[in-house]
A and B are shown apart, each in its own frame.
Chain A
Amino acid sequence: MIKLLFFGRLGDFATGLSTSIDAVDGLTPAAVRDGLAAGHPQLVYELSQPQVLISLNQMIVDWDHPIVDGAELAFLPPVTGG
């Protein structure tokens, strides 16, 4: 299982979405994003914005980084703390 997290405004577009997906061979963050396209086109549009970062197990990675079973994948819009 891969745990999915959507932070900030991305969370509003992910309402009702399952918080985990099955792990498959060759899975990448880009593939996870593209797999959401059918049911959540607006979310995929938001995830495709260049400012969106992704983390795997709380480390920033690229969209083509391999995902292993048990990982936590988070989608991070630009931060606004402080």
Chain B
Amino acid sequence: MISTIRIQTQDFDLAAEYQLLRQLKASVGAVVTFSGLVRDLEQQQSINSLTLQHYAGMTESLLQGIVDQAEMRWDLIGITVIHRVGKLLPSDQIVFVGVASQHRSDAFEAAQFVMDYLKTKATFWKKVDQNGQQYWVESKSSDQAARDRWSTDD
């Protein structure tokens, strides 16, 4: 399997990433892509911006670990994970996960697995700016629950 992991400040091109996964091998029969965007509201109030911090080096190795786990669980041809850091504005793209496989169920499930683990394991932290007031986003128990459903399958 071919995996690509990138942490970057610049935006990404969904169509270009899709094409790269599509063209990995002639046996690719399914490509599932997910993009996460900056919502305009946090705690029911509009935000000015979001700033993403991460732990350089550790983030990449944690993401590689998640991708490796996905490869063990499903029959996959390629995975791309891109996560942006730095200052982002509402509607900006934050995260991309794309999975290529022969059959759709592997790609669907692996994409969801990677996102659920990324949200609860990868070392990123979001800070919100609401009219000059800054605060760190709290983690959500719903994200933990989304991840935990994968471990009950073992």
Q: Does B53 sit within 8 A of A, measured CB to CB?
A: yes
Q: Does B74 sit within 8 A of A, measured CB to CB?
A: no
Q: Does A65 sit within 8 A of B, measured CB to CB?
A: no
Q: Does B48 sit within 8 A of A, measured CB to CB?
A: no
Q: Does A82 sit within 8 A of B, measured CB to CB?
A: yes
**What interface size band does chain A fall in?**
10 to 19
Contacts of B126 in A (CB 8 A): 80-81
CB distance from B115 to the nearest CB of A (A): 6
Chain A residues with a Cβ under 8 A of chain B: 5, 7-9, 11-12, 51, 55, 58, 74, 76-82
Contacts of A9 in B (CB 8 A): 125, 136
Q: For residue B36, which residue of chain A has the nearest CB?
A: A82
Q: For residue B125, which residue of chain A has the nearest CB?
A: A8
